[in-house]
Amino acid sequence: MSSKPRLGLIGYGAFGKLTAQHLSAHFDVRAYDPLLAADDDYVTAVSLEDAAACPVVILAVPVGVLEQTLVQIAPMLTAGALVIDVGSVKVKPAEAMLRLLPDHVRIVGTHPLFGPQSAKDGLAGLRIAVCEVRGAKDARRTAAWCRKMLALKVFNVTPEDHDR
């Protein structure tokens, strides 16, 4: 049994795999994706319910299925869980998360400005936008963690300023 905190990763495409690769040193990553059939070096394959029940949940799903995913996981999220999205747009996902997720979860929007190709040599010095959605303290803590643990260049921005 791992002593690392559990992190649920929903979506295990190219960006989900990149996320797991870099977060597995810090978290026990539990991944759900309809196409993920088995564990790999970075994740334990779990059900959607198991991934959503983690204290930290990262949504690495296409924007087109985000709302459907939010509806599915809303009843499965635990009180106090931190839900983070990693999509390239922020206003509509932030609005959807506020509308569809229970009040007992914390929400932070992020947009990593890199992908599997640009991060092939590591994350240090790459940029990530962090947006407060529900909880200024959570956005600040997420930004600080990204700076300290991943050596990312973080900029805090509102969802509206991000999408402009």
| pTM for the model | 0.95
pLDDT value, residue 37: 87
pLDDT value, residue 163: 85
pLDDT value, residue 1: 58
pLDDT value, residue 161: 83
Chunked mean pLDDT (size 10), the chain, 164 residues: 90 96 97 93 96 98 96 98 95 96 97 93 96 94 97 93 86
* Helix spans in 10-152 (H): 14-23, 48-52, 66-73, 91-100, 136-150
Domains by residue range for the chain, with CATH: 6-163 (3.40.50.720)
pLDDT value, residue 135: 86
Contact 126, 158 (CB under 8 A): no
